[in-house]
Amino acid sequence: MSPAPSPARSGPRDRLAGLGLDAPLGQVPRLAAAHLQALRRLGLVSVRDLLWYRPRRYDDQRQRLSLAQLQAGVAATVEVELLDVRQRRARWRALQLVEARVGDESGQLAVVWFNQPHLSRLLHPGARLLLHGKAVRRQDGRLQLRNPQVELERRTPAPASVGVIAPTYPETQGVRSSWLRPLVRLLLPLARDIVDPLPAELVRRERLAPLARAVHDIHFPGDEQARREAEQRFGFEELLYPQLAALLARRQRLRRAGVRSPYSIPVAREFRDSLPFELTQDQRRAAHEVLTDMDRPAPMNRLLQGDVGSGKTVVAAMAARMAIAARHQVVLMAPTEILARQHFATMRDLLSRFEIWPRLLVGSTRVRERREVLGGLASGADRLLVGTHALIEDDVLLPDLGLCIIDEQHRFGVAQRHRLLEKARVSPDFLSMTATPIPRSLQRTLYGDLDVSEIRHLPPGRVPVETRLVEPEGREDAYRFIRAQVAGGRQGFVICPLVEDTPAQEAISATAEYERLRTEVFPDLRLTLVHGRLGGREKAARMEAFAEGRFDLLVATSVVEVGVDVANATVMAVEGAEHFGLAQLHQFRGRIGRGQHASHMLLFSSADDSAARSRLEELCSHSDGFELAEIDLRQRGPGDPYGLRQHGLPEIQVADLLNEALRRRAAAAAETLLDRDPELRDPALRQQMRRYQVVFDFD
């Protein structure tokens, strides 16, 4: 039997006395401290948390078979009589065994439970049982049921937990679905106290299940129709609440007074004419959209997305030039010191001819230099600051801040971005950039307050990168290919998932792989190692040495995902490629192919998983980051490559983000709700949105 609280020992009404939806789970009787701690690891603290904890799949146990119909390796539900039961300790392992013999009209079957000695006290010969599990074939050729779920036949009508459509939840150590099910069922009667935040008219018009019923049926649906209706209700909400929050934020932003930077055609042309290359059509269109936004009285909130190397920084530099021409200060914040230093160098090259000299502020900036930078900013003498998280520290004063540019914006949390924006006297313009394209369906649903500009095409001259999956038997040939590239004067990267070996994962670590390559595979080549645990100055020094050609191969973790431009690097090997998402692998690929030489990406993988292999094959056959983003979304769901968690946005569990019809219905409902309640004062709606982790930056 499950170790969760059993309603059979005392009436469910007695067990729930005094409990409400917001009661801590610690008030539920007979929940041990170890169980509470395990539940906390899943983010489950209150009764409400548990009732909103969605199953990830279901096991339909409703079809009952006779014992004669059982097959080895096939899960089944049987209704049987317990003929005898005994408990013993296994001689060959420290296992407590509960062994039983059960029967029905078609025959008899052996059953065994491992390390569940309490069952010998609960099960008695003559009892009627429901069992669900997989039969296995013993050495004597007979079938045996091992560790099945078990439920005693009840004298009073009560919901069954075996032989039903059984939910399977996301699990952690100490919390299994077989343990969660009876606990959730015990607390489900409290769902009657749920206040539906959606107006009854909206629920009727959209043909949605009432919330209390949907909560019950998402856990224990009576049939497939009930499950589908519950999922539709929660799917609709998952699309509604983010759009509602984004729509409200957008309406409020457009009512605020912002910093205006007039769109000066002469300034834009002067900048364009100073460039040593022609802007692409995509770059010109994106720059026009950005500069037009900056000329409006309301603060800009625009996302500039484009593939690695598509030229986003040039557009950002033009925006910075326009803001500074309007006598505003500009900050550019990057997630890593490596990337910040690269942006600093690029901005200096693009803007110094206009007597605009950027200042750099990173974690490793020396005290004296930092004091100089802070003084120049506070006085208004310096107009452009490039840096990392160091920009948001309290002593960084920006009295004339007019434009905030954040690169790889999904790597920053909501609070960090807000601290930067709060340094301005008036709401500044906000331009975020990303080389991880956000699929259109995610843009429309979760990023509704962002206007989006895209740079879809690479500048002329970029050489496509050939990407191929290396089979285990092809590793030596791959090493010979890397050696040939170095012999031809080129350089390469070797990317590994971890910094150090850990027994919990089978990924190859960067430190161990560096030693193996240096001593066994390429002892005659010059190798260096970079990972996130190195200090900022040491990392920068090694990167710079590699860029200057003093090393042949750079072994690294994902720290090189952004911010390393080495035109001479033409080959990249990725160990344990299945451990990375498509978006991240595409980012890695952008580190090569930046010169005039043909470049190659080699994916090493030992994964037998067909889904993982399929993902890697998609990378080999697609070079467009926008296409890969859509493929990644279809295959893996939203996940976190798009910064949902950093944005405070929800993990989509039920909704189909590719269901455009459902999204449009949710968008129309959001418009209607805000038209009726422009400031969204309804407490039930606000509470529900917070439960979906939608962040309110307008409270």
Domain annotation for the chain: domains and CATH numbers: 1-56+169-193 (1.10.150), 60-165 (2.40.50.140), 265-455 (3.40.50.300), 465-622 (3.40.50.300)
Q: Which residue has the higher pLDDT, 93 or 27?
A: 27
- 494 forms beta bridges with 555, 573
Range ranked top by mean pLDDT from 145-149, 425-429, 516-520: 516-520
Average pLDDT over residues 214-226: 93
pLDDT in tens, 578-596: 888 888 888 889 888 887 8
List C-alpha distances in Å: 503 to 38, 472, 506, 517, 530.
22, 22, 7, 21, 22
Pairing mode of beta strands 128-137, 149-152: antiparallel
In angstroms, the CA 247 to CA 152 distance is 52
Residue 14 is predicted with a pLDDT of 61
- Radius of gyration for the alpha carbons in the chain, expressed in angstroms and rounded: 30
In angstroms, the CA 86 to CA 97 distance is 8
The H helix count followed by the E strand count for the chain is: 24, 21
Judge whether residue 341 has pLDDT over 50: yes
Judge whether residue 232 has pLDDT over 80: yes
Judge whether residue 300 has pLDDT over 80: yes
Q: HSE of 404 in the Cβ direction (CA atoms, 13 Å)? A: 28
Q: Which residue has the higher pLDDT, 445 or 333?
A: 333
Residue 413 pLDDT level (bands cut at 50, 70, 90): low
Residue 97 is which amino acid? L
Judge whether residue 243 has pLDDT over 50: yes
Residue 518 near residue 472 (C-beta atoms within 8 A) = no
Residue 503 is predicted with a pLDDT of 43
Average pLDDT over residues 194-206: 93
Give Cβ neighbours of residue 156 (< 8 Å, ≥ 6 apart): none
Of the candidates 692, 617, 697, 680, the one whose C-alpha atom is nearest the C-alpha of residue 650 is 692
Average pLDDT over residues 248-268: 91
pLDDT in tens, 274-293: 999 999 999 999 999 999 99
Residue 401 pLDDT level (bands cut at 50, 70, 90): very high
Judge whether residue 693 has pLDDT over 80: no
Residue 242 is predicted with a pLDDT of 86
Least confident of 76-85, 300-309, 418-427, 446-455: 418-427
The three-class DSSP label of residue 134 is strand
Residue 563 pLDDT level (bands cut at 50, 70, 90): low
Pairing mode of beta strands 553-556, 451-455: unpaired
pLDDT in tens, 42-68: 889 999 999 989 898 898 888 889 999
Residue 637 is predicted with a pLDDT of 64
Residue 12 pLDDT level (bands cut at 50, 70, 90): low
Residue 694 is predicted with a pLDDT of 64
Judge whether residue 207 has pLDDT over 90: yes
In angstroms, the CA 387 to CA 202 distance is 48
Residue 569 near residue 490 (C-beta atoms within 8 A) = yes
Residue 273 is predicted with a pLDDT of 95
Average pLDDT value over all residues in the chain:
86
Average pLDDT over residues 110-138: 89
Average pLDDT over residues 663-679: 92
Average pLDDT over residues 585-608: 87
Residue 8 is predicted with a pLDDT of 38
pTM for this entry: 0.78
pLDDT in tens, 428-446: 999 999 887 888 777 777 7
Residue 158 pLDDT level (bands cut at 50, 70, 90): low
Residue 227 is predicted with a pLDDT of 93
pLDDT in tens, 381-394: 999 999 998 888 88
Residue 156 is predicted with a pLDDT of 47
Judge whether residue 666 has pLDDT over 80: yes
Residue 10 pLDDT level (bands cut at 50, 70, 90): very low
Residue 118 is predicted with a pLDDT of 84
Torsion-angle region of residue 472: left (phi > 0), alpha (psi -120 to 50) or beta?
alpha
What percent of the chain stands above pLDDT 70?
Answer: 89
Of the candidates 304, 305, 313, the one whose C-alpha atom is nearest the C-alpha of residue 275 is 313
H-only helix segments in 450-578: 475-487, 510-516, 536-547
pLDDT in tens, 626-658: 888 888 777 766 655 555 554 555 566 777 777
Residue 574 is predicted with a pLDDT of 95
